Amino acid sequence: MKSSRQGSANAEGRRQRRFWPLAARIGVAVASLCLAVVSIWRIEAVSAPLQIERLTIGTTPVTLRRLPDAGPAPAVVIAHGFAGSRQLMAPFAVTLARAGYTTLSFDFPGHGRNPVPMTGDLRAEDGATAALLAALTEVIAAARGLPGTDGQVALLGHSMAADIIVRAAIAQPDLAATVAVSMFSPAVTATAPGNLLMIVGAWEAPLIEEALRVLRLSAGPEAGPGTRYGDPAQGTARMLVIAPSVEHVGVLYSGASLAAAQGWLDTVFGSDRLHRPDLRGPWVLALLASVVALGWPLARVLPRAQAPQMAQLARPWLAVLAPAIATPLILWPLPTDLLPVLVADYLAAHFALYGLLLGGILYAQGVWRPGWPGARVLAAGLGAGLFCILAPGLALDRYVANFWPHAGRVPVIAALALGTLLFTLAEEALIRAPAGPGSSERRRWVGAASKAAFVLSLIAAIVLDFQGLFFLIIILPVIVLFFLVYGLLGRWIHGRTRHPVAAGLALGAAFAWALGVTFPLAG
Query: H or E element: which one contains 181?
Result: strand 177-181
Please check the confidence at residue 227 and state whether its pLDDT lies above 80: yes
Looking at every residue in the chain, the average pLDDT score rounds to 90
- CA separation for the pair 219, 212 (Å, rounded): 10
* CA angle (285, 290, 296) in 5-degree steps: 135
- CA separation for the pair 174, 154 (Å, rounded): 9
Query: H or E element: which one contains 78?
Result: strand 73-79
Residue 122 amino acid letter: L
State the DSSP code for 98.
H
- Residue 19 has phi, psi (to 5 degrees) of -70, -50
Q: Provide the CA 306 distance to its chain's centre, in angstroms.
A: 36
pLDDT digits (tens, 9 = 90+) for 39-51: 999 999 999 999 9
How high is the pLDDT of residue 31?
97
Residue whose C-alpha is closest to residue 502's, from 352, 341, 239, 299? 299
- Residue 502 has phi, psi (to 5 degrees) of -60, -50
Q: Provide the CA 215 distance to its chain's centre, in angstroms.
A: 30
Please check the confidence at residue 15 and state whether its pLDDT lies above 90: no
Higher pLDDT, 499 or 274: 499
Q: What sign for the dihedral angle of Cα 137, 142, 144, 150?
A: negative
Q: How confident is the model at residue 338 (pLDDT cuts 50, 70, 90)?
A: low
Contact 423, 504 (CB under 8 A): no
pLDDT digits (tens, 9 = 90+) for 286-305: 999 999 999 999 999 999 88
Please tell me the total number of residues recorded for the chain in this structure: 523
pLDDT digits (tens, 9 = 90+) for 103-146: 999 999 999 999 999 887 666 666 789 999 999 999 999 999 99
Q: What sign for the dihedral angle of Cα 162, 465, 467, 335?
A: negative
How high is the pLDDT of residue 156?
98
Q: What angle, 0 to 180 degrees and rounded to 10, lies between the N-to-C axes of helices 410-432 and 316-331? A: 150
How high is the pLDDT of residue 406?
87
Q: What angle, 0 to 180 degrees and rounded to 10, lies between the N-to-C axes of helices 316-331 and 445-464? A: 20
Pairing of strands 60-66, 102-106: antiparallel
How high is the pLDDT of residue 441?
55
Considering the entire predicted model, what is its pTM?
A: 0.89
How high is the pLDDT of residue 12?
45
How high is the pLDDT of residue 83?
87
- CA separation for the pair 316, 217 (Å, rounded): 56
How high is the pLDDT of residue 122?
62
pLDDT digits (tens, 9 = 90+) for 495-510: 999 999 999 999 999 9
How high is the pLDDT of residue 445?
83
